[in-house]
Structure 1
Amino acid sequence: MTQAGIQPENRPVRGPSIPRLTVNMVKTAIQLTESLAAQALLLAVERVENVPWEALANYKGRLLLVTSQHSEEFDHKREDLHIFDVAHASLSRSDRANLGLLLAASSGLLTEKNSVVCVTGPDGRRLDSINVTKPEVHFRAMLSEKNRRGADVVRPAVMLRVLTLAIEIAAEGREAHPIGALFVIGDSRQVLRHSQQLVLNPFHGYARQLRNVLDPSLAETMKEFALIDGAFIIQGDGTVLSAGTYLTPKSASGSVAHGLGARHQTAAAISAHTQAMAITVSQSTGTVTVFRNGSSVLSLERSGRTKW
């Protein structure tokens, strides 16, 4: 199973002591999904064992499960079931669902035309909230492969991997302290025209296959270099060009929320003047923000349970 998600083919063993509230919420969500003709039902749970499978027995629509822990025992033959292991319990309940929607959209499972019914809970074991949403236009902006001629396209897998890395940095920090970070992905030729190196580039001279973010072994190296002031510059195929890079774009034409600092202003500006996507980690709040075309298109907040 990859971190971006799996499509299992077998039935999970029913977990013990599923709360009655969870069962009732799922039954209500099924009725709502069918009455609205929603395109999918999404459950954000801790593990597949926390799913009330009996309540879902007569539901024949698309089922999306967003889990924060991988389950080894899995034996289910339900059709149109898609599981996405986000492994980010540090996110708020709504953002775990949002990340699941993004993963499903990147897999071509969702469209923007119809609603999705989402069921969430505070810890992924007890579900107590139902929300009806549509995959936002910004998901299309994040996943679009349209680009101007000559600019490298951001692959969805690369965007999702860097987003995962940013979430992990927000949750873990470094040496027991929160840190900030900035990643700029795609349109690297234009981005480099608006940059200068603050320190000797730690990625210079290494083979491309050794500095690609899709290689899991590079994660700890990236987290260590996040301590260096400046941005990571990453090509659309995942190749890391530099770290500790100072960006010098003109002011962004888009809008940035009040109270956000220079890192977010720079991210908005570089995404406004190039075809690149910028992802920031706020050192003060742990919020992960994605910028494209000069504006924030996605924001994932760290859960209040994450403490330093």
Structure 2
Amino acid sequence: MTPTALNKATTILLALACEAASRLGAMGVLILPEGPMNWEAIAALGDGNRIMIAESSERHLKAITEAGMIAIEVDEATESAITERITLALIEAVANDQLTAGARVVVAYSGFEAETLDSITVVRLGEHLEQLSSRDLRALETSVPFETLKAVVDVAVEIGREGREGKTVGTLIVVGDVRNVLSRTRALGFDPFKGYKRKERNLRDPRVREAIKEIAQMDGGFIVGRDGTVESACRIIDAPNSGLTLPKGLGTRHWAAAAITNVTNALAVVVSQSTGTVRLFQKGEVILRIAPMQHARAMKWQDAETEPGPGRLDKTS
């Protein structure tokens, strides 16, 4: 496939992104291209900034590296909203030591017109991520494979941002250590996933993701295995929450997530019904928070110690 030449608009936008990165002291510019581009021309526009390109093609990843830029390997682009793509690219970069927690990043992407870089946003990796280093992210893979965790976070962010039928939706997804988790939960009643074959219950299947978004409107949480298979739905957590401390403003789902991760090796992802914010729990604590933004704007990862009130959304800086 012939690389797309940089037109005048794209050249101007990338120059502005590099200028913004220099002015803000950002750690670099992250580009999410819609297809192959003239990597050498992009590198020449860097003006001393670190240029990072999120790509899925092995051939283009190699070409990006050879052009002197940082290649971030991501899954092949899907119909996912740009917010999810940006988030997962940033997670991948932190996990691979290509970005450090607490940094600012200027992101260039196609926000309005397909196959054209026409939008810039500034993302701040929240201060709490200074405690969540790439080593910590890799450690999460010992209990839950990183690809499964990304799939869970992806669907959780979609639920938080989109809701269902015009209404906000909250949910709880517990991942890993299935046997211990099931022993500390109980069925609420009907399990929509019961009776289906394992291959028909995997989160990587778009149909399963859509089913989860529908079922999330029901009470109870989801139990997901290490391989991304949904083991059960509509489960109530019975784990004790004594001795746990959470930031003010968090509800019963968050306490349940803290409780189950405190007594098992599972991770838990909670979508707040009031704000759509996604929180990742491990060992009874919030270790990551992703606040969704609407209209194809990027998310801001923030310090989990200060929780916004129910009527306020976090804003990008």
TM-score relative to the length of structure 2: 0.70
Measure, in 2, the Cα distance between the counterparts of 1:272 and 1:132.
26
How many corresponding residue pairs? 277
Q: CA deviation at 1:58?
A: 6.4
SS at match of 1:232: strand
Q: CA deviation at 1:75?
A: 11
State which of 222, 230, 236 in structure 2 corresponds to 1:232.
222
Q: CA deviation at 1:136?
A: 3.7
Measure, in 1, the Cα distance between the counterparts of 2:106 and 2:217.
37
Per the alignment, residue 150 of structure 1 pairs with none
State which of 100, 103, 127 in structure 1 corresponds to 2:89.
100
Letter in 2 for 1:119: V
State which of 107, 132, 141 in structure 2 corresponds to 1:138.
132
Taking structure 1 as reference, are residues 287 and 52 closer, same or farther at Cα in structure 2, changes over 3 Å only?
farther
Measure, in 1, the Cα distance between the counterparts of 2:61 and 2:98.
25
Specify every segment of 5 or more residues in structure 1 that has no aligned partner in the other structure, as ranges.
Answer: 1-8, 148-152
Taking structure 1 as reference, are residues 25 and 241 closer, same or farther at Cα in structure 2, changes over 3 Å only?
closer
Question: Are 2:18 and 1:26 equivalent residues in the alignment?
Answer: yes
Taking structure 1 as reference, are residues 208 and 129 closer, same or farther at Cα in structure 2, changes over 3 Å only?
closer
Question: Are 2:102 and 1:110 equivalent residues in the alignment?
Answer: no
Per the alignment, residue 14 of structure 1 pairs with 6
SS at match of 1:179: coil
Taking structure 1 as reference, are residues 216 and 278 closer, same or farther at Cα in structure 2, changes over 3 Å only?
same
Measure, in 2, the Cα distance between the counterparts of 1:194 and 1:132.
34
Per the alignment, residue 106 of structure 2 pairs with 119
SS at match of 2:43: coil
Q: CA deviation at 1:294?
A: 1.1
Q: CA deviation at 1:43?
A: 1.8
Question: How large is the RMSD of aligned CA atoms in angstroms?
Answer: 4.0
Per the alignment, residue 78 of structure 1 pairs with 64
Query: Could you tell which deviates more after superposition, 156-165 or 13-22?
Result: 13-22
Measured against aligned partners, the alpha-carbon deviations of 1:187-214 in whole angstroms (never above 9, x if no partner) come to 1111112110001222222221111112
Per the alignment, residue 44 of structure 2 pairs with 57
SS at match of 2:235: strand
Per the alignment, residue 173 of structure 1 pairs with 163
Q: CA deviation at 1:261?
A: 0.8
Letter in 2 for 1:14: L
Summarize the alignment of residues 1-308 of structure 1 with structure 2, pairs less than 5 Å apart: 11-18=3-10, 20=12, 23-27=15-19, 29=21, 41-43=28-30, 54=41, 56-57=43-44, 59=46, 63-65=51-53, 77-79=63-65, 80-82=70-72, 84=74, 85=77, 87-89=80-82, 99-106=88-95, 108=96, 110=98, 118-120=105-107, 125-127=118-120, 129=122, 136-138=130-132, 140-145=135-140, 153-251=143-241, 253-305=243-295
SS at match of 1:144: helix
Taking structure 1 as reference, are residues 258 and 200 closer, same or farther at Cα in structure 2, changes over 3 Å only?
same
Task: Give the conservation status (yes or no) of the 8 Å contact 1:186–1:276.
Answer: yes
SS at match of 1:56: helix
Measure, in 1, the Cα distance between the counterparts of 2:61 and 2:265.
44
Measure, in 1, the Cα distance between the counterparts of 2:18 and 2:278.
30
Q: Percent identity?
A: 28
Task: Give the conservation status (yes or no) of the 8 Å contact 1:141–1:292.
Answer: no
Measure, in 1, the Cα distance between the counterparts of 2:273 and 2:24.
39
Per the alignment, residue 5 of structure 1 pairs with none
Taking structure 1 as reference, are residues 269 and 13 closer, same or farther at Cα in structure 2, changes over 3 Å only?
farther
